[in-house]
Amino acid sequence: MREGVDDFMKKKKSGEKVFDYTVNIILIIVAVVCIYPLWYVLIASFSSPTAIASGEVILWPKGFTLDGYTRVIENKNIWIGYRNSILYTIAGTAVDFLIQIPVAYALSRKSLPGHRIIMALFVFTMYFSGGIIPKYLLLNSLHMINSPIALIIPSCVNVFNIIIAKSFFEGSVPDSLYDAARIDGCGYTRFFARIVLPLSPALLAIIALYCIQRHWNVFLDAEMYMIDSKYYTLQQVIRNITAKLDANLMEVMEGTELMRMMQEKQLLKYSVVVVSVVPLVIIYPFVQKFFVRGVMVGAVKG
């Protein structure tokens, strides 16, 4: 009897090993499929346009050059876009925090009258919006078109972030904690500022990352609301650079000049992409340790 049990356990362990190996192989393949395009963009930005066009760039840069980055750095519009995007991101993230975190905490308290109905109304807006044209007409009537405020105020309520924060507060800040603080004379505002927020570094980090990423990558709203080039975001500037290169290609008929323009497009295309993601790459390591914890809280509780 004992030998039969041992044989069964060995077979089970062998089956588990096969399963683990299979899962690991699949995950490695998925990781390569996801990572390689990013790696290719990086190595292509340091490669010569001729090597890119001929398909020589596969794993490492070919014909190493910094000409693409030189052209990008020399373009003053890039720096205008950088400045604007940084300002919009900082201001937008600050406003998002002032709105979303307190709202999420309030909705997490069962003592709030009608909290379920209010939450349902928030969730409703995730699936049904007012539409692009009504939103534009509203912002125009408020004189917010061609103003940085148009990229900050209308998007300051992100329901997805509120759901994550609400789930975190429900699981990490029990009502008994407030009851104990109230005995010592602690009010709602002081309890939120002195106790709730210090207990929520993982939540604050993940919400900050989501807000920063959303504001940094904003493009459609900027295209609709930003008319003056001095207010352009970095994404708009990059789009204008690539659009201008495409327009120049359409105008050129001579073979030699056409080839030169195509090489210039190849040179700049990858460089501007790398330049645009540098700030996010710099920020991510600082919040990476909180990322999994924050996402799992929202996934399990939400």
In a domain, 23, yes or no: no
DSSP state of 152: T
> Number of folded domains in the chain?
1
In a domain, 184, yes or no: yes
Task: Spell out the residues 6+ positions from residue 141 whose beta carbon is closer than 8 angstroms to its own.
Answer: none
Quick one: which H or E segment has residue 101? Answer: helix 76-108
- The total of other beta-carbon atoms located within 10 Å of residue 143's CB is 10
Q: How high is the pLDDT of residue 20? A: 82
Q: How high is the pLDDT of residue 302? A: 44
Give the C-alpha separation, 266 to 62, whole Å: 14
Over range 57-69, report the average pLDDT.
84
In a domain, 201, yes or no: yes
200 band by pLDDT with thresholds 50, 70 and 90: confident
Which tens digit of pLDDT belongs to each residue from 103-153?
A: 999 998 888 888 889 999 998 988 888 888 888 899 999 989 998 899 999
Which tens digit of pLDDT belongs to each residue from 250-286?
A: 666 566 666 667 777 777 888 888 888 888 888 877 7
- What is the identity of the amino acid at 13? K
Q: How high is the pLDDT of residue 63? A: 82
Residue 181 has pLDDT above 50, yes or no: yes
In a domain, 255, yes or no: yes
Q: Report the candidate in 96, 93, 74 with the shortest Cα–Cα distance to residue 85.
A: 93
Host domain of residue 145: 67-302
Give the C-alpha separation, 290 to 299, whole Å: 14
In a domain, 1, yes or no: no
Q: Compute the mean pLDDT over every residue in the chain, rounded to the nearest whole number.
A: 82
Could you tell me the CATH number of the domain that includes residue 260?
1.10.3720.10
Cα separations in angstroms, 300 against 99, 165, 258, 290 = 24, 12, 55, 16
Out of 5-14, 194-203, 282-291, the most confident range is 194-203
Q: HSE, CB side, 13 Å, CA atoms: give it for residue 197.
A: 12
Over range 5-12, report the average pLDDT.
52
In a domain, 53, yes or no: no
In a domain, 290, yes or no: yes
In a domain, 62, yes or no: no
Q: Report the candidate in 219, 209, 206 with the shortest Cα–Cα distance to residue 299.
A: 206
